[in-house]
Structure 1
Amino acid sequence: MATSNDTPSSRQPPSLLARIGLAVRSFFAVLGDPESAARFLDASAGAMPAPAAPAAAEPAFKQASPDAALQLLSLLQRDARLIDFAGENLADYSDSQVGAAARLVHEGCAKVLREHFRIVPVRDEAEGSRVSLPAGFDAAAVRLTGNVVGQPPFHGSLRHRGWRVAEVRLPQLAEGHDTRVLAAAEVEL
């Protein structure tokens, strides 16, 4: 039973072990019960100070969906036998055999790229051209190399035009399709 001396300010802080137990119970209560989550939000809104404005914007991260990546890997296996090729020990084959296999893998990979993506250059200029990058250029689309000093505008020689996906045309997945099966095992009867 609580006494008048058991106010939050006069109570002894819980031990580390007790706080860990409380955190685990709270985590599952908030995760499993929307009402508990709402009560937690209400309680924490008044108890926690407002966060200070960050000096610089923190990057936001998002989890990539593995389904699209696995679907692409499956297409590359189907049309180019990429997984088979990459898993093969090439030391057992002659250069001409490896070259012949690489030609087939190359053709299959190119087919997958053509059928499922529209890929365009990041920069339109010819490689080797002189280019200027003004202040505020898209650093995610253009990587500076060489002796990078000072502030923009930067002037340099275009070594690679870069690539960007303009359109993705992956097939729709059937409900319940297991994307982790990249190529079904084959059993000949």
Structure 2
Amino acid sequence: MTDQPSLSFFARFWLAFVCFWRIWFDQAFAQAVLPVREADKASKLPSGVPPSELPAGPTEQKPPEKKEPVAALPPEREHAPALQILAMLQREGRFIDFLQEDVAAFPDADVGVAARIVHEGCRKVLRQYLTLEPVLPQSEGDRVNVPAGFDAQRTRLTGNVAGQPPYTGVLKHRGWVTTAVKFPTTSPAMDPRVLAPAEVELP
């Protein structure tokens, strides 16, 4: 193979200029130059390492996909758990019926009998589906200490509240906290707005 004469800077510049435009507008010329380009790339690979095992170059970053906004639940579905509790209290203790009545027109004895029925049914719901414990273990009427940094959501101060904790006061109500919830799941096909169906007795 004969030695090729070296090209000057201006000769290389002119050759690059001509090739650049010919590659743009002459498909056959570009196809002929491509093997030379591939051979030049292969000659620069590390010896003994196949191209498939070389680390991949930087990939083109794709723009993040736009996520469709999640449709807001209708009010009846968003508040379905609360409506479910009302339905249970109604089913077991006629809770809604009792609250919808104008008890002011009834004698105290009749109100007491109705309240006993409501109390029994609603208490059954609480014990079946919720585990409740008092916030404070002391008995109502005992003197209790409220330390500094107390949880204001669990302990509410009443009366003459002044200065900074710790405080000492009388326990008026022990409070309640739920430690376990065992509500059954409801079918999506059911309308949670129906707290109690209408009852029609057929002859």
- Alignment TM class, shorter chain as reference: 0.5 to 0.7
Q: Deviations over 1:20-53 (max 9, x none)?
A: xxxxxxxxxxxxx93799xxxxxxxxxxxxxxxx
Match of 1:70 among 83, 86, 111: 83
Q: TM-score, normalization: structure 2?
A: 0.60
For 1:107 and 1:85, how far apart are their aligned partners in 2?
13
Match of 1:46 in 2: none
Match of 1:110 in 2: 123
- How big is the shift at 1:186? 1.4
For 1:154 and 1:36, how far apart are their aligned partners in 2?
52
**Aligned: 1:34 with 2:66:** yes
Gaps of 5+ in 1: 1-32, 38-63
Runs of 4+ in structure 1 over 6 Å off: none
CA 1:156–1:36 in structure 2 vs 1: closer, same or farther (change >3 Å)? Answer: closer
Instruction: Please give the root-mean-square deviation of Cα atoms over the aligned residues, in Å.
Output: 2.1
For 2:171 and 2:105, how far apart are their aligned partners in 1?
40
For 2:68 and 2:96, how far apart are their aligned partners in 1?
48
Larger radius of gyration: 2
- How big is the shift at 1:108? 0.7
Match of 1:153 in 2: 166
CA 1:151–1:176 in structure 2 vs 1: closer, same or farther (change >3 Å)? Answer: same
Gaps of 5+ in 2: 1-64, 70-76
The one-letter amino acid of 1:157's match is V
Match of 2:191 in 1: 178
- How big is the shift at 1:91? 3.8
Match of 2:146 in 1: 133
CA 1:152–1:103 in structure 2 vs 1: closer, same or farther (change >3 Å)? Answer: same
CA 1:156–1:174 in structure 2 vs 1: closer, same or farther (change >3 Å)? Answer: same
SS at match of 2:131: strand
- How big is the shift at 1:175? 2.4
CA 1:134–1:87 in structure 2 vs 1: closer, same or farther (change >3 Å)? Answer: same
Q: TM-score, normalization: structure 1?
A: 0.64
Number of positions where the alignment pairs a residue of Structure 1 with one of Structure 2: 131
The one-letter amino acid of 1:134's match is P
- How big is the shift at 1:121? 0.2
Match of 2:32 in 1: none
The one-letter amino acid of 1:167's match is A
The one-letter amino acid of 2:66's match is P
The one-letter amino acid of 2:162's match is V
